[in-house]
């Protein structure tokens, strides 16, 4: 079964202090090394890595100015929407609506590195992610990132609804509290039949 790694919102607004101060998830500090190991594992195992990144526009419904719950954050073409400095991004392929039938290389390293911009919680909503995965016959996804109870959960839900086998890398996700993180992990296990795994010493188990 072909697999892919989905890294959700590992961008500066959420994962690096000094950008969107109201959105920064300080618990990301506890999982940085785990995420770096996860990327190393994916590269060693020829698993494509797909960053799913908030890249908001001013009329997005989740923004407070449009009646949504959140202040402006991770806006398109700002530093807040850039991938965090502590994960690899050099040489990635940015996919747009024109790239829905994009072939994923089977080579190691950054030939397997992609970015999809999203304007809502889920990496699948109004993006080319589903087409990309199906075109490349990927049936199983590993999901990690920020934050567990919002964008990770919604991406996992959409993967489940579309028939993918879902794995959540528990120690590769973080939330604003341990309680929110743990409750959401349990919910995804129970309601999406997600397998809960951990990265440890460059191995998933």
User: For 103-112, 140-149, 194-203, which range has the lowest pLDDT when averaged over its residues?
Assistant: 103-112
Domain limits at 170? 2-204
Q: Are strands 113-118 and 93-95 parallel, antiparallel or unpaired?
A: parallel
In this prediction, residue 108 has a pLDDT band, given cuts at 50, 70 and 90, of very low
The label of the residue with tokens 């991004």 reads 89
Q: At residue 126, does pLDDT exceed 60? A: yes
Mean pLDDT across 105-134: 84
Helices assigned H by DSSP within 20-74: 32-44
Contacts of 154 (CB under 8 A, 6+ apart): 120, 121, 122, 125
Q: What is the mean pLDDT of the chain?
A: 92
Q: Count how many domains the chain has.
A: 1
Token pair of 143, please? 């999901």
Q: Is residue 107 pLDDT above 70, yes or no?
A: no
Higher-confidence residue of 4 and 93: namely: 4
> Degrees (nearest 5) of the Cα angle 161, 162, 163?
95
| Phi (first) and psi of residue 17, to 5 degrees | -65, 145
Task: Give, for 3, the enclosing helix (H) or strand (E).
Answer: strand 2-8
Q: What is the pLDDT of residue 111?
A: 61
Look at the pTM and tell me if it is higher than 0.75: yes
Which pLDDT score is estimated for 96? 76
What pLDDT does 1 receive? 76
Instruction: Give pLDDT, residue 104.
Output: 74
Give pLDDT tens digits for 5-49. Answer: 999 999 999 999 999 988 999 999 999 999 999 999 999 999 999
93: pLDDT strictly greater than 60: yes
The CATH number of residue 135's host domain is 3.40.50.850
């Amino acid at each position: 079964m072909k697999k892919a790694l989905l890294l959700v919102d590992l961008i500066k607004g959420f994962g690096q202090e000094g950008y969107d101060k109201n959105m920064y998830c300080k618990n990301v500090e506890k999982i940085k090394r785990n995420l770096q190991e996860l990327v190393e594992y994916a590269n060693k195992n020829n698993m494509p890595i797909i960053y799913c990144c908030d890249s908001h526009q001013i009329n997005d419904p989740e923004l407070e100015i449009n009646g949504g719950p959140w202040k402006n954050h991770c806006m398109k073409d700002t530093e807040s929407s850039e991938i965090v400095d502590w994960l690899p991004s050099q040489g990635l392929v940015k996919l747009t609506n024109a790239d829905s039938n994009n072939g994923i290389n089977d080579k190691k390293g950054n030939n397997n590195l992609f970015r999809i911009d999203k304007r809502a919680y889920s990496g699948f909503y109004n993006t080319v992610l589903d087409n990309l995965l199906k075109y490349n016959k990927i049936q199983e996804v590993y999901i990690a990132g920020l934050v567990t109870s919002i964008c990770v959960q919604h991406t996992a839900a959409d993967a489940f609804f579309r028939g993918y086998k879902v794995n959540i890398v528990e120690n590769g996700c973080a939330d604003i509290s341990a309680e929110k993180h743990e409750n959401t992990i349990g919910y995804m296990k129970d309601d999406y039949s997600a397998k809960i795994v951990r990265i440890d010493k460059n191995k998933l188990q």
